[in-house]
Homo-oligomer: A and B are copies of this chain.
Amino acid sequence: MDEKIEKKYRIGDFAEVTGLSSPTLRYYEKEGLINPHRTENGLRYYTEQDVDWIKFLLHLKSTGMTIEQLKQYVKWRAEGDSTIDKRVELLEEVRSNFEKEFENLQNSWTILNDKLDWYKGKVNGHIEDSESFAAYLKRLNHHE
């Protein structure tokens, strides 16, 4: 009987591979976002699956999911395949919100670049001293 030996991480090592701190991992556990195993003496340990989950969770967090939403997602996941629709619906909502926000971000990035170009135009004389940034934006047709 050969057992597949899976790597086990204690909290400090797991913190290192995930980029989170040990207290954050304990906090996530308290919130129900992750459920590490325990040694017979009560020490946590994490597996490769836990690594995959935390990586995915961090992507979800980046796209704007809150701890509360993640909690709900985990709860549904634990309930099994009957909740796939709900999970998909939640992720689709997150995606939709993210896409709106993403467009705003692109716009803000454009305006930031415009401002830098404007400053540089002022300094090197390619933009008239009298032209306000608002007027400059209007000229470029970059609104809002």
Interface residues of A (CB under 8 A from B): 52, 55-56, 58-60, 62-63, 84, 87-88, 91-92, 94-95, 98-99, 102, 104-105, 107-109, 111-113, 115-116, 119-120, 122-123, 132-134, 144
Can you list 26 residue pairs at the A/B interface with Cβ under 8 Å? A52-B132, A52-B133, A52-B134, A56-B115, A58-B108, A59-B107, A59-B108, A60-B108, A62-B104, A62-B105, A63-B109, A63-B112, A84-B119, A84-B122, A87-B119, A88-B119, A88-B120, A91-B112, A91-B115, A91-B116, A94-B112, A95-B109, A95-B116, A98-B109, A99-B109, A102-B105
Taking the full assembly, how many copies of this chain does it contain? 2
